[in-house]
Structure 1
Amino acid sequence: MKKHNFSAGPCILPQEVLKKASEAVINFNNLDLSLIEISHRSADFVAVMEHAKDLVLELLDLKDKGYSALFLQGGASLEFLMVPYNLLPEGGKAGYLDTGTWSSKAIKEAKLLGDIEVIASSKDANYNYIPKNYAIPSDLAYVHCTSNNTIFGTQIKNFPKTDTLLVCDMSSDIFSRKLDFSQFDLIYAGAQKNMGPAGTTLVVVKDEILGKTGRKIPSMLDYQVHIAKDSMFNTPAVFPVYVSMLTLEWLKSLGGIEAIEKINEEKANILYQEIDTNPLFQGVAKKEDRSNMNVTFILTDESKKEKFDSTWKAAGISGINGHRSVGGYRASIYNAMPLESVQVLVNIMKAL
């Protein structure tokens, strides 16, 4: 039976990407060697890394605009610490939007290195909305936000306007919608939502903002070190980088971010329409802040839960149980999720 993978992450990947990746694990580039056993400094893998970085900048329309793309390790969680190490001066202050679990974790790590001001928070309503109409202090080294909140199903539609540096954790909606990416000075994203398997993290940073904190930064946490070594200061996560490259090639072949955004909007619209018109379901996030990647909803009649759960499981649906902090259900509809799978879920909801 075909499985419909709504998992929040690690998440669904395009079938053609999985096929190419599996072939490369056996025999990469007709070398009669596996991708995961060749030297990361071989010409074959260096070409993979360079192509992956080029695709990132091309798709984000940041090529030749003074940005570097990096594939690092440690997940987005390590970036919670790397960002202040590289951008927060000794004695400096940074501002954070607190819109969910991951932004609160980023705040916790940043507080280890300096004065962190939470400039707005939606914690008061269990993060079911994005704060608005907040003031941004003028004495900040940077402002940090999280573009999409995987657990709570919210997404920033209008980003902070600031005269200082703007940093964004885009782990769960990178490459999913058209934005002016040049408004950000630093973007980071774990691969395991919209790019590839867990194990590598994308960082896109404006070169000119680095090296200005006066800090002594450990080598593994220094973006300038990784830029100078072309993301190979230490052995990179070869397989996740390769799969990310394949996924970015797939996205480019579809027509890039502009094309996938239209598909993502269609998927989200049909699912939210069912949630809004079917009295048995109710959305969790405020309508104006709903995510097009993670759709959170609950049953209004718990007596229907057993039937609903057994029906979607029988249909081959996987991964739609909500996070424990929210409850209910969460359908993650990342770039590689086919419209057909969303329609299967909607049909089950209609028939309940």
Structure 2
Amino acid sequence: MQSPAKPNNPNFSSGPCSKRPGYAVENLQLNTLGRSHRSSLGKDALSQACLKTAELLGLPEGYRVGVVPASDTGAMEMAMWSLLGQRGVDVLAWESFGKGWVTDITKQLKLDNVRLFEADYGYLPDLDAVDFNNDVVFTWNGTTSGVKVPNGDWIPDEREGLSICDATSAAFAMDIPWQKIDVGTFSWQKVLGGEGAHGMLVLSPRAVERLESYTPPWPMPKIFRMTKGGKLIEGIFKGATINTPSMLCVADYLDALSWVESLGGVQALIDKSNNNLAIVEEFVSANEWLSFLAHDPHTISNTSICLTLDAEPDQVKQIVKLLEQEKVAYDIGAYRDAPAGIRIWGGATVEAEDLNKLMSWIALTYDQVVKQA
């Protein structure tokens, strides 16, 4: 039997994710390299990163966007350490990164008035039980479980607390009602296929008001400080970053934003990612040995698509290894803390043609490793 055609691009990692179709380093605008990030040229590039992000995401009036250190993790840490403690906290966790925020809140910040809403991999906690009189910390999409919140209907428009959302594998790929988000974070290296080490922090006017009216009781590292003299440091959200960024990574991010513009905006990326998920859904429905880790169809991620197989964990590892050896798919093993399985990135930087080819290869290797064993 002749082997099926291989994907043109075998990069299906869930972070750093595949570069956009047609990407080439030589096409980047590199006039900022070797220049200070505080020069007019450097500040303009960073300002454009903030402004274009806000414009493309359709952020409400008054929302700020800033480039911050340490990827999505750094952005979330800045938000939690700067904002939490004034009132109670409801924190949701249904996979490893959400559980990391639980650790910060309960073991590092050591907050007392905390309610924890947990669920096993594949499930969501009870969203209706969340109290928005408290601050609420959650992930929009569980990158390591492939389980997302179905929508923002559970977040009230009128709320006393702040909604603090880790949106790193959701922003630019899912329909996020930003008016319901007071703090949003994401990294360049997820949906847009950018480079790592830099995060984006989105603040609503309500979040800014909290920053300017509340001082946490714990010491605040310089890299987390967003206020001075009780006022927001507005420069952070206009390109004057807290620390020195990589201008090469900034150029790469601006290239990704231009790509989004060339497709017609964020909706084109959402549609493309949804179409990629549909390819996997069709394949799963036709093969009873394969299932989504997400148990509710309304919560299946269209970016970090997590699948379980009717196979032993060692057999799953063997399938993943074979796909890598054949240069069909790289880095698609389930996250180390998740149940054994396959995790395929389905964001808009992945082409449908390549995803179709990958599914054929998954079937082939499953036959070799499991059915013929």
TM-score (norm 1): 0.86
Quote how far apart the aligned CAs of 1:50 are: 1.3
Aligned equivalents of 1:282, 1:136: Cα separation in 2: 29
The RMSD of aligned alpha carbons is: 2.5
Quote how far apart the aligned CAs of 1:337 are: 0.9
Is 2:280 aligned against 1:282? no
Aligned equivalents of 2:136, 2:320: Cα separation in 1: 42
Aligned equivalents of 1:299, 1:323: Cα separation in 2: 15
* Superposed counterparts of 1:319-330, under 5 Å: 319-325=331-337, 326-330=339-343
Q: Deviations over 1:187-229 (max 9, x none)?
A: 0112221231111000010244322223364442123465334
CA contact (8 A) 1:98 1:118 kept: no
Aligned equivalents of 2:129, 2:323: Cα separation in 1: 47
* 1:94 equivalent in structure 2: 89
Aligned equivalents of 1:8, 1:116: Cα separation in 2: 34
* 1:191 equivalent in structure 2: 188
* 2:345 equivalent in structure 1: 332
Q: Secondary structure at the match of 2:271?
A: helix
Greater mean deviation of Cα atoms: 259-268 or 202-211: 202-211
CA contact (8 A) 2:83 2:216 kept: no
Any unmatched runs of 5+ in structure 1? 30-34
Alpha-carbon spacing, 1:133–1:15, altered in 2? closer, same or farther (3 Å) = closer
CA contact (8 A) 1:147 1:156 kept: yes
Aligned equivalents of 1:288, 1:117: Cα separation in 2: 28
Alpha-carbon spacing, 1:308–1:76, altered in 2? closer, same or farther (3 Å) = closer
* Superposed counterparts of 1:40-55, under 5 Å: 40-55=37-52
Q: Deviations over 1:262-315 (max 9, x none)?
A: 111111011122123202322222133211111111321459755775356425
Aligned equivalents of 1:13, 1:339: Cα separation in 2: 14
Aligned equivalents of 2:132, 2:356: Cα separation in 1: 47
CA contact (8 A) 1:153 1:295 kept: yes
* 2:304 equivalent in structure 1: 294
For 2:167, give the aligned amino acid: M
Aligned equivalents of 2:72, 2:320: Cα separation in 1: 34
CA contact (8 A) 2:272 2:347 kept: no
Is 2:258 aligned against 1:260? no
* Superposed counterparts of 1:114-153, under 5 Å: 114-115=111-112, 117-122=114-119, 125=120, 127-137=121-131, 139-140=133-134, 142-153=135-146
CA contact (8 A) 1:172 1:193 kept: yes
Is 2:222 aligned against 1:213? no
TM-score (norm 2): 0.82
* 2:170 equivalent in structure 1: 173
For 1:94, give the aligned amino acid: V
CA contact (8 A) 1:70 1:227 kept: no
CA contact (8 A) 1:171 1:188 kept: yes
Paired residue total: 337
Aligned equivalents of 2:242, 2:329: Cα separation in 1: 41
Aligned equivalents of 1:301, 1:109: Cα separation in 2: 36
* 2:370 equivalent in structure 1: none
Aligned equivalents of 2:113, 2:100: Cα separation in 1: 12
CA contact (8 A) 2:63 2:204 kept: yes
Is 2:15 aligned against 1:9? yes
Aligned equivalents of 1:280, 1:97: Cα separation in 2: 31
* 1:32 equivalent in structure 2: none
**Percent of pairs identical after alignment?**
21
Is 2:256 aligned against 1:247? yes
Any unmatched runs of 5+ in structure 2? 1-5, 368-373
Quote how far apart the aligned CAs of 1:55 are: 0.9
* 1:227 equivalent in structure 2: 234
For 2:155, give the aligned amino acid: K
Aligned equivalents of 2:283, 2:9: Cα separation in 1: 21
Q: Deviations over 1:114-149 (max 9, x none)?
A: 235234210xx3x21112353233641x11110111
Q: Secondary structure at the match of 1:131?
A: coil
